[in-house]
Amino acid sequence: MRKKLYITFFLVGCCVLLLSFINKREKNNVTTFSLLTQQKTYKAGSPIMLTFKSSSNVVTSLLLKSSYGSVLLNATKSNDTLNYIVPKFYIQKAGYISWVLIGNDKHIHKGNFDIIPEDDIRIENYLGPRSMPAGDGHYTMMVSIPTDRYDNPKPDDTPTIIKTQFLENITEQSIPTKDFISWKRIYSPEKAGKIITSVACMGKETKETETDVYATIPTNFTIDYTRNHAFSDGNQATTLTSSIIKDKFGNTVGDGTMVTYIATTTENAVLKTYGNTVQGIAQADILSPEHADVYTVKAYINGMAESNTVNIKYKQVKTSIDYTLSDDKRTVTVGAINSFMNQIAPDGTTVTLQVYHKGKLVDSSNEYTRKGMAAFTLSEEVYKEKEYSFAITALGNTVTTEIIHYNAGK
């Protein structure tokens, strides 16, 4: 029994000695690695090498961690020093870097260092919107981001100067960066034009950027008309012209603003024509009617502005209407139709033939003149009665024929 007890004590003592030996060896391993590199801050792009002194044969690796990810480095050994070279893509990114020296699956050493942006300066600037209406609190915004050549943002409170120019007014404002950016709202003036902006930072200048200030919503305007004559010949155009259309600040609206002219006839027919502004003036043409009429015209810029109302009166063209019948009385030839100076009416003048049977309107058809003449053909299949009369109308003038008999021999 006593012999067994001695053996047990002996085994326990051996275990304690073994554990003590292992712990001491691990401590020796730790203490045999010392960091020689004392620098804690580096500029982006500068070479970085962490050097350790060690007489140990333990194989080690260096684990680097940053916001861009982690990487495991192997050492290059020279005598009793271990050199760990930080990769190029790591040294170009500013930020906080932590490291851990690993050997035999244990953390032997740990530490950290910082990479700061280098002295070189680049400026990214963004301006938008690039166009805006005049006045009324509209604004564009300039955003500036100073960085180094590796796109690392400069630290907060880096001074930037935002410059603006409009007409004779040039302003400069120093705005320190916050959260890596500086920004400024540039409010729209009441006068249309072009705002030029640029940014300066630490001796570096950007190229200019532009914002166009255009007229805001147009105000009501006036219209008038011009024409060669007042006769309703269905040929001449009447030109409708607006005044110079402006906004409430007196800015002329931009070229291409669409103006809709609406003309209402005495019979309440509605005609439309359109014009686009050039230097604030919109012109459109409307064809004269082929009979005496009055056009009531008003113009609109859809949903924004409207004009006064003008009345355009057209005079009747007084002309006689001649016609002839063919031998079988199935073709009615009208003309020549003359216009207001007794000249031949323009080609395309409308001639209307109304067909009556015993005083009742049977049919109505239109033909268009060519060299003042128009012809109508009455087929036997359609017009089967033995007598008809006709009313012929051109340029607002009407002539009525006598009763014409057909198939008299049957």
Q: Report the C-alpha gap between 202 and 120 in whole angstroms.
A: 9
Q: Measured in Å, how far apart are the chain's first and last C-alpha atoms?
A: 159
pLDDT of residue 264: 97
Are 284 and 271 a contacting pair, CB within 8 Å?
no
* Three-state SS at 336: coil
Burial class (CB in 10 A: 0-12, 13-18, 19+), 82: buried
**Is the per-residue pLDDT at 143 higher than 90?**
yes
Q: Report the C-alpha gap between 111 and 348 in whole angstroms.
A: 96
pLDDT of residue 99: 96
Q: Report the C-alpha gap between 262 and 312 in whole angstroms.
A: 12
pLDDT of residue 33: 86
Q: Report the C-alpha gap between 385 and 202 in whole angstroms.
A: 101
Better pLDDT: 403 or 410: 403
**At CA 97, angle to CA 95 and CA 101, rounded to 5?**
170
pLDDT of residue 24: 43
pTM of structure: 0.73
pLDDT bracket for residue 407 (50, 70, 90): confident
pLDDT of residue 7: 56
Better pLDDT: 55 or 76: 76
Kindly list the distances between the CA atom of residue 319 and the CA atoms of 52, 56, 69, 236, in Å, as whole numbers in the listed order. 116, 124, 95, 17
**Is the per-residue pLDDT at 317 higher than 70?**
yes
pLDDT of residue 3: 54
Nearest partner of 301 among 215, 244, 217, 240, judged by Cα: 217
Q: Report the C-alpha gap between 297 and 226 in whole angstroms.
A: 13
13-17, 266-270, 316-320, 351-355: which range is least confident on average?
Answer: 13-17
Nearest partner of 270 among 235, 233, 300, 245, judged by Cα: 300
Are 145 and 181 a contacting pair, CB within 8 Å?
yes
Q: Report the C-alpha gap between 179 and 116 in whole angstroms.
A: 15
Residues 226-273: tens digit of each pLDDT: 999 999 999 999 999 999 999 999 999 999 999 999 999 999 999 999
pLDDT bracket for residue 64 (50, 70, 90): very high
Q: Report the C-alpha gap between 111 and 217 in whole angstroms.
A: 64
* Three-state SS at 16: helix
pLDDT bracket for residue 6 (50, 70, 90): low
pLDDT of residue 57: 84
**Is the per-residue pLDDT at 65 higher than 70?**
yes
**Is the per-residue pLDDT at 40 higher than 90?**
yes
Give me the mean pLDDT over the 288-306 stretch.
96
Give me the mean pLDDT over the 365-372 stretch.
94
Mean of pLDDT over the chain = 91
**Is the per-residue pLDDT at 395 higher than 90?**
yes
